[in-house]
Amino acid sequence: MTTHAFRMMLKPGQADEYRRRHDALWPDLAAALTDAGIHDYAIFLDPETNALFAVLKVHDDADRRATLPGLPVMQRWWDHMADIMEVEPSNRPCETPLIPMFHFA
């Protein structure tokens, strides 16, 4: 199992809408994430900077995670979120990987 962390950016004033959309996560998207080996996925907001910090765990079969961008449900979700986040031309959220610096278990 591996842990991945990354930063995304929310557009100003969109925190409530971001939460609302994630509270209503589509069942087919949740199934795709599970099928890709993703679990224990959390996203945190820094309200001063609008930075979103995501942390997720992936079962060792990481190849399944690489299939997510090609799934129609993932592309529909990116389109759904593009108006409230900083995104690439494909509407994929701009992600900056975070470097592990400390872990206490």
Judged by DSSP in three states, 85 sits in: strand
Q: 3: closest CA among 53, 60, 52? A: 60
Catalytic residue, chosen from 22, 59, 80, 103, is: 22
Q: Is 22 a catalytic residue?
A: yes
On the CB side of 28, how many CA atoms lie within 13 Å of its CA?
7
- Burial class, 41, CB count within 10 angstroms (exposed 0-12 / middle 13-18 / buried 19+): middle
Structure token pair of residue 23: 């509270």
Active-site residue set: 22
